[in-house]
Amino acid sequence: MTLPDDAARPPGHGLRRDLDLLEALASPEAQRAGGLGVVRLAQLTGREKSQVSRALKALAEEGIVERDPDTLGYRLGWRLFSLVARTAEDRLVRAAEPVMHALSADLEETSHLCVLREQEVLTLLSVSGHSFRAHDWEGRGVPAYCTSAGRVLLLDASPDELYVRFPDFDADDPRSEVRTLPQLWAKIQECRRDGFARVHEEFEEGLVGVSAPVRDFRGRVVAALNVSAPAARLADRLEAAGRSTAAAAAQVSEHLGFSATGPPRTRLT
Q: By the 8 A CB rule, do 247 and 210 touch?
A: no
List strands edge to edge, sheet with 111-117: 141-143, 120-127, 111-117, 221-230, 207-215, 197-200
* Rounded Cα distance, 123 and 116, in Å: 9
* Rounded Cα distance, 140 and 133, in Å: 15
Domains contained in the chain, CATH given: 5-76 (1.10.10.10), 86-255 (3.30.450.40)
- Which pLDDT score is estimated for 7? 47
- Which pLDDT score is estimated for 214? 96
Q: Give whole-number Cα distances, 116 to 151, 217, 222, in Å.
A: 10, 18, 8
- Which pLDDT score is estimated for 205? 86
- Which pLDDT score is estimated for 82? 59
CA 254 to the chain's CA centroid: 15
- List the chain pLDDT tens, one digit each, 269 residues: 343 444 445 545 567 888 899 989 988 888 788 899 999 999 999 999 999 999 999 999 988 899 988 888 999 887 776 566 566 678 888 899 999 999 999 999 999 999 988 888 988 888 886 544 444 666 667 888 889 999 999 999 999 999 999 888 777 777 778 888 998 999 999 999 999 999 998 888 888 999 999 999 889 999 999 999 898 999 999 999 999 999 999 999 999 888 876 544 443 33
- Which pLDDT score is estimated for 138? 62
Residues sharing a CB contact under 8 Å with residue 91, sequence separation 6 or more, in sequence order: 256, 269
Q: By the 8 A CB rule, do 115 and 222 touch?
A: yes
pTM of the model: 0.65
Select from 112, 125, 122, 121 the least CA-distant residue to 229: 112
- Which pLDDT score is estimated for 85? 57
In the DSSP assignment, the letter for residue 178 is -
Select from 80, 9, 3, 72 the least CA-distant residue to 40: 72
Q: Give whole-number Cα distances, 101 to 94, 96, 115, in Å.
A: 12, 9, 18
- Number of other residues whose CB lies within 10 A of the CB of residue 221: 20
State the Cα torsion 136-139-188-110 to the nearest 10°.
30
pLDDT tens, residue by residue, 24-68: 998 888 878 889 999 999 999 999 999 999 999 999 998 889 998
- Which pLDDT score is estimated for 56? 93
Strand partners, 76: 65
Q: Give whole-number Cα distances, 68 to 60, 62, 77, 210, in Å.
A: 11, 15, 11, 44
